[in-house]
């Protein structure tokens, strides 16, 4: 039944416990802060301890509830330990938001197999491992949960130099759909959101090269590239009760790129 109480708590993640991977990055730090301001308790994780501590201190200064744990998402022992530490610190785990990722654009004629495998390990294995240990914990708790995965608009579009990145993001879309099938009966929703280019250290140059920027805009009806904060809303929505009937979805948050 739709009541005032139902609607007023629909998008709330207040008091929920969330892990944010890649919390050192442009997107991950924005989502971690977004979750924190929305009242969630946030476990920040990434490999770069210095950056992780910086974000942690910024959030603490704002009075947000958070902790951090250093680890590599593609190392099984790290993913398992970070899930355990989250539960030790905050008592449970309700939300996993994977924001880590790696792109090394290079032609297959030049990219080493090891470098390609590194992209697959970071983008696919890292998500798989965090999803695995998070799901085990959520099933044990018996209260459902939310798994939100950052994919890319590139998951459905090949591009020169993207045999690693596009392949890894297509894998992540299907990983999410299959995880949703495994975990639906436990009330765990699994979805990806698929951004187009947004501002980060790696893409900043595109915002300052008019030719490149205007060329991108030909395919983006909304008329601009993204900013990290453009994705905080979808991450809260997919972590909240408002998305309870939504799973196995790959949601474009791309200024219209897929539709054009
Ligand atoms: N920027 C874009 O235009 C764009 C567009 C579509 C999708 N995305 C996706 O959005 C997510 C966040 O990207 P971003 O733009 O915010 O990038 P970012 O600022 O570089 O952040 C990504 C984070 O991922 C972690 N990471 C990097 N390489 C890794 C590796 N080999 N193994 C494990 N973790 C690694 C890094 O944290 P640590 O070094 O601390 O581990 C880094 O802070 C990624 O999944 C990316 O594919 C980005």
Q: What is the pLDDT of residues 219-259, one digit of tens each?
A: 999 999 999 999 999 999 999 999 999 999 999 999 999 99
**Torsional sign, CA 8, 93, 147, 117:** positive
Q: pTM for the whole thing?
A: 0.98
* Residue 165 is among the residues annotated as catalytic for this protein: yes
Question: Considering 128, 133, 165, 257, which one is annotated as catalytic?
Answer: 165
Position 137 pLDDT exceeds 90: yes
Give pLDDT, residue 202.
87
Among residues of the chain, what percentage have pLDDT more than 70? 100
Query: Angle at CA 235, nearest 5°, toward 95 and 55?
Result: 80
Give pLDDT, residue 260.
84
Tell how far the Cα of 104 is from the centroid of ligand 1, in angstroms.
Answer: 11
Among residues of the chain, what percentage have pLDDT more than 90? 96
- Ligand 1 within 6 A of 197 CB? yes
- Ligand 1 within 6 A of 50 CB? no
Q: Determine which residue's CA is closest to atom 18 belonging to ligand 1.
A: 25
Tell how far the Cα of 18 is from the centroid of ligand 1, in angstroms.
Answer: 18
Q: What is the pLDDT of residues 149-199, one digit of tens each?
A: 999 999 999 999 999 999 999 999 999 999 999 999 999 999 999 999 999
184 burial class (0-12, 13-18, 19+ CB within 10 angstroms)? middle
- Atom number in ligand 1 closest to CA 228: 16
Q: What is the pLDDT of residues 20-72, one digit of tens each?
A: 999 999 999 999 999 999 999 999 999 999 999 999 999 999 999 999 999 99
Give pLDDT, residue 193.
98
Q: Which candidate, 74, 57, 64, 61, places its Cα nearest to that of 22?
A: 74
Alpha carbon distance 90, 45 (integer Å): 15
- Atom number in ligand 1 closest to CA 118: 31
- Atom number in ligand 1 closest to CA 225: 3
- Cα 54 versus chain centre, distance: 20
Q: Determine which residue's CA is closest to atom 46 belonging to ligand 1.
A: 101
241 burial class (0-12, 13-18, 19+ CB within 10 angstroms)? middle
Sorted by where each starts, the structural domains of the chain and their CATH numbers stand as 4-201+228-253 (3.40.50.720)
């Amino acid at each position: 039944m739709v009541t005032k109480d139902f609607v007023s708590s629909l998008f709330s993640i207040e008091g929920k416990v969330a892990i944010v991977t890649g919390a050192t990055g442009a997107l991950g730090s924005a989502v971690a802060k977004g979750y924190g301001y929305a009242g969630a308790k946030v476990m920040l994780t990434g490999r770069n301890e210095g950056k992780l501590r910086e974000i942690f201190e910024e959030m603490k200064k704002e009075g947000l509830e958070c902790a951090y744990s250093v680890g590599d998402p593609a190392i099984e022992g790290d993913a398992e330990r970070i899930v355990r530490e989250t539960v030790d610190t905050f008592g449970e785990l309700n939300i996993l938001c994977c924001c880590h990722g790696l792109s090394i654009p290079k032609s297959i004629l030049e990219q080493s197999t090891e470098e390609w495998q590194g992209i697959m390990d970071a983008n696919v294995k890292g998500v798989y491992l965090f999803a695995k240990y998070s799901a085990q914990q959520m099933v044990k708790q018996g209260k459902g949960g939310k798994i939100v995965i950052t994919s890319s608009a590139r998951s459905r579009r090949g591009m020169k130099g993207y045999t690693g990145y596009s392949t890894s993001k297509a894998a992540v879309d299907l990983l999410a759909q299959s995880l949703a099938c495994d975990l639906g009966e436990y009330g765990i929703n699994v979805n990806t959101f698929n951004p187009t280019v947004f501002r980060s250290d790696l893409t900043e140059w595109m915002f300052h090269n008019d030719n490149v920027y205007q060329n991108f805009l030909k395919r983006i009806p909304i008329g601009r590239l993204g900013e990290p904060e453009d994705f905080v809303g979808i991450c809260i929505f997919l972590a909240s009760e408002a998305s309870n009937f939504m799973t196995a979805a790959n949601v474009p948050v791309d200024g219209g790129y897929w539709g054009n």
